[in-house]
Structure 1
Amino acid sequence: MDINDISLEFIALLLLNLAAGALGFVPSFLLTGLNISSFGVATGTVLSLTGEIFGAVLGFYLYRFGFSKVQPSWKKSRFWNYMHKQPAATVFWGILLFRLLPFIPSGLVTAGAALTTINGLLFFIASSLGKIPAVFLEAAIVYGIIETVPAVVQYTVGIAVCLTALFVWLRKRKATGNGLRQ
């Protein structure tokens, strides 16, 4: 593989990590595994961290833009008023805490922050400080799995998880009357 192929793969994975970070509901450990497998533990971890941090910032602004377009009646709800009245310092520490806790959906934290009056710089700082230890821990766990679990088992589990998710999604879609047309 020459340097151009590596650069193209790096850029593609960076864009994928940014998109996943902005969406906030894609399990990041899947991308961390791909990043580490492709570029090693150090560069793969940096790639994951970069994607998570800047993807979250992108998501913050996208959520904030989306919330600005909602119907004004929604902004009268107790939830909106509660979130919007929180002081920036409270929001900052909340973001930091929720980023440190494992298994808290990133998109939920980002969307919640977008509902507040915190500015982008404070969101970036709190989110980054919280994500750094979380990504390093995730990278260590993923690296341990990559190194100890045979590839055939990893692929089998990955395929089984994807097929199960697809099956659940299709059943749910059919149950709500949005089934695929025949």
Structure 2
Amino acid sequence: MTDKTIGWTVRIIGVLAVILFLWSIQWFLPDFYSTMWRLTVEGDLDGLTDYIASFGYSAILVSVFMIVFANALAIPSIPFLTVNGVIFGLVPGIIISWIGEVLGIEVSFRLTRTLLRNQAKKVIQRSNKLEKLDSYSCIRTIMLGRAIPYSPNVVVTAFSALSHISYRDHFIANAIGKIPAVVVEVWFGHDLLRINEHWERLLVLTVIVVAIYGFLWWRKKQANKRRA
């Protein structure tokens, strides 16, 4: 058996294991997927908060699973990050969300690189940034792409998967880059859902975030002018 055959065998077994795991959730919790879908589509963040919290100590695993699941399917994971600060507390919510985002993006990256290269090319072509593909072999570029709050993970993942970056370098860029983005997303979500208690802090956070990212954007613009 060749290395290529072994590799594809391992991938097929992995895919079957994932399908079996997802099916087992449906077996034991028949309304799990439908409830999550309904609450997410309706934007019912209070309902989503109550439903995830209803799992007790297992809510941590449920939240991480949903973030990974969302990233693997290339759909926004923001609703789950938004409610995590309320369910678990601000700092634990940030840590749990960061773990979910890092794991989810790694799963998405590996799936895209091994199974979905043609779909990744279409995503990049629609974004009209095909000429920037080579730059996504750089840890710094991917790190900066991951650090932008509320930006879609799927675009950066598509660029990364088609670039020459190694799995190790992508993990480093992903793990570090998602820290500021997750902090902002969970913190904003926490204070928005509890705006009556934290509106002053939310206002200060908004000003700080806008100032920091505005300054970084200005520096990049100036650097581009100098290079031109």
Q: For the Cα contact (< 8 Å) 1:24–1:56, is it kept in 2? A: no
Letter in structure 1 aligned against 2:107: L
Residue 53 of structure 1 pairs with residue 102 of structure 2 = yes
1:114 shift after superposition = 0.3
Closer, same or farther: CA 67–81 of 1 in aligned 2, 3 Å: farther
1:178 maps to none
Letter in structure 2 aligned against 1:13: S
Closer, same or farther: CA 98–87 of 1 in aligned 2, 3 Å: closer
- Normalising by structure 2, we get a TM-score of 0.52
- Normalising by structure 1, we get a TM-score of 0.64
Greater RCO (Cα-Cα under 8 Å, separation 6 or more): 1
CA distance in 1, matches of 2:65, 2:191: 25
CA distance in 2, matches of 1:65, 1:12: 27
Residue 123 of structure 1 pairs with residue 170 of structure 2 = yes
How do 1:1-182 residues align onto structure 2 when only pairs under 5 Å count?
5-28=55-78, 30-67=79-116, 70=118, 83=133, 88=137, 91-149=138-196
Cα distance per residue 1:114-150 (max 9 Å; x no partner): 0111111110111111110111111221121122159
CA distance in 2, matches of 1:8, 1:57: 23
- Segments of 5+ residues of structure 1 without an aligned counterpart are 151-182
Closer, same or farther: CA 42–96 of 1 in aligned 2, 3 Å: same
CA distance in 2, matches of 1:66, 1:24: 14
- Segments of 5+ residues of structure 2 without an aligned counterpart are 1-54, 198-228
